[in-house]
Amino acid sequence: MTATTNIEPVKPNSAFVGLLAVLLAMVSRPSGLVGLILVAFHVVLAIVSPAIVPYDFRELSAQIILNAPSSEHWFGTDNLGRDVFTRTMLGGRQALLVTTISTIFAITWGGLLGVLLGLVGGRLDELLMRLVDAFLALPWILVLLLIVVTVGSGPGVLIPTLGFFYGIPVIRMARAATQDVVALDFVTAARARGESRSTIVWRELVPNVLDVLLVEGAMRWSWMLLAFSSLSFLGFGVTPPTADWGLMISNARSFMSFAPWTVLAPVVALSSLIIGINMSADALAKALGIDRAQKAPV
């Protein structure tokens, strides 16, 4: 017997109301609330920080190198006499810019291709999935490093590269989600009616895989941040003297024993952002009713 016994009460249905309901569900949990606050804080900070920083981030000064935190320099100074507080506030800008755009790019192209493959199946699907598997076997950091080294770094290279490579696992996930939906009768009904393929993709499939894609998008964003800051850490991402947390941590390593503030500030900043994104992604998944932790990171 499949007749539903739990019939939901009738409420007004619109996209806006749906969105609000999801947000409310997210903040009703403490983890979701904390996560959203952290993310919002960092995004706002990234946008307004240039206007509110006390010092110029490039300003060098031989006299005040590696000073401990004081009333003039709240987070102290680094090995070149630059104000750590300023650099920490600005440190997330490049990272957030690059990763946000790359994530949107990755989800869009990976999602669309995945949905198409999930619908069409057949030889093309098999071939492309073999390719996807092969690509996934490549160590991502090696590929990224190689490209950056030969082509150059900077947002112009990083955005398409990150977007392309991180879109590949999205294909797999979108395809799997689509295959679950395609098996349902309403898709068969649309095909039997003679609806065009693009109608089926946009009207029937995408709305039903959107929530999975959104959660995946949130997770991808945090992996991208990880990759970006790792690249900067290794010296292959941002070019100095740009302020970036990964770069700051890398520089500060040599002075960790006697000037820990140079390392702690960027560590806390970076970690809080990534944790915030993850908590939000978790809360989003729960609010949308998806169980996510089952899947491997790739």
Partner 1 sequence: MREPLVQVKNLSIGFTSQAGLVMPILRNIDLAIGEGETIGLVGESGCGKSTLALAMMGYLKSGLSVLEGESLFRGRNVFDMDGRALEDIRGGELALIPQNAGQSLTPTSRIGRQIDESVKLHTKLAKEQRRERVIELLLQVRLPQPEELLQRYPHELSGGQQQRVAIAMALAGEPDVLLLDEPTTGLDVTTQAHILELLRDLAADTGTAMVYVSHDLGAIARVSHRIAVMYAGELVLEGPARRVLKQPAHPYARGLLLSIPRLKEAVLPTSMPGRPPPPGGAGHGCAFADRCPMAEQRCRDERPVLEPTAAQEIVRCHFHERVEQLPPPEPPKRPDRSSLDEADTILRLDNVAISYAKPGIVDQILGRQPKVAATVDKIDLTIRRGETVGLVGESGSGKSTILRAIAGLWPPQSGTITYEEAESLNTSVDERAKDLLRRIQLIFQNPDASLNPRHTVAEILAQPLKLYFGLSGDELRERSVALLERVRLRADYLERLPRQLSGGEKQRVAVARAFAAEPELVLCDEVTSALDVSVQAAVLDLLTQLQADQRTTYVFVSHDLAVVRAFADRVAVLYQGRFCEIGPSKNVYRFPSHPYTEVLLGAVLEPDPDARPALAAEDVVDLFPPAKGCPFQRRCPRRIGDICDNETPPWRPTELGHAIRCHIPLAELGGMQEKSAHAVAAKLGPTEGIRAE
Partner 2 sequence: MVRLIARRLALGVLTMVLISGIIFVGVEVLPGDACTAYLGRMAQGKRLENCRRDFGLQRPALTRYVEWALGAVRGDFGVSLQGKTPISETVGTRFRNTLILGVTASMIGVPLAILLGIIAALWRDRPVDLWVSTTAIFAMTIPEFVSSTVLILIFSVWLGWLPGIVITRPDAPLFEFLSDIILPIVALALVMTAHILRMVRTSVIEVMASDYVQMAQLKGVPYWQMVFRHVLPNALLPTINLVALTIAWLLGGTVVIEVVFNYPGLGRLMVQAIFFRDLTTVQAIALILAALYVGLNLFADLLTLVANPRLRTMRTSRP
- 134 lies in the binding site for partner 2 (CB under 8 A): yes
- Integer Cα distance of 136 and 259 in angstroms: 40
Is 281 within 8 Å of 215 (Cβ atoms)?
yes
Gap between the terminal Cα atoms of the chain? 38
2 versus 150: smaller Cβ distance to partner 1: 2
Which window, 37-45, 89-97, 133-141, 156-164, contacts partner 2 (CB under 8 A)?
133-141
- Integer Cα distance of 231 and 234 in angstroms: 5
Q: How far is the CB of 49 from partner 2 (least distance, A)?
A: 21
- 270 lies in the binding site for partner 2 (CB under 8 A): yes
- 284 lies in the binding site for partner 2 (CB under 8 A): no
- 278 lies in the binding site for partner 2 (CB under 8 A): yes
Distances (CA, A) of 115 to 170, 174, 207: 10, 6, 11
Roughly what angle, to the nearest 10 degrees, separates helices 122-137 and 155-182?
Answer: 130
Residues 197-236 that bind partner 2 (CB under 8 A): 222, 226, 229-230, 233-234
208 versus 242: smaller Cβ distance to partner 1: 208
x/- string (CB under 8 A) for partner 2, residues 5-24?
A: --------------------
How many residues at the interface with partner 2, by CB under 8 A?
Answer: 49
79 versus 196: smaller Cβ distance to partner 1: 196
x/- string (CB under 8 A) for partner 1, residues 3-32?
A: xxxxxxxx-xx-------------------
- 141 lies in the binding site for partner 2 (CB under 8 A): yes
What is the residue-wise DSSP string for 89-117? Answer: HHTTHHHHHHHHHHHHHHHHHHHHHHHHH
Asked whether the CA dihedral 265, 82, 49, 218 is positive or negative, the reply is: negative
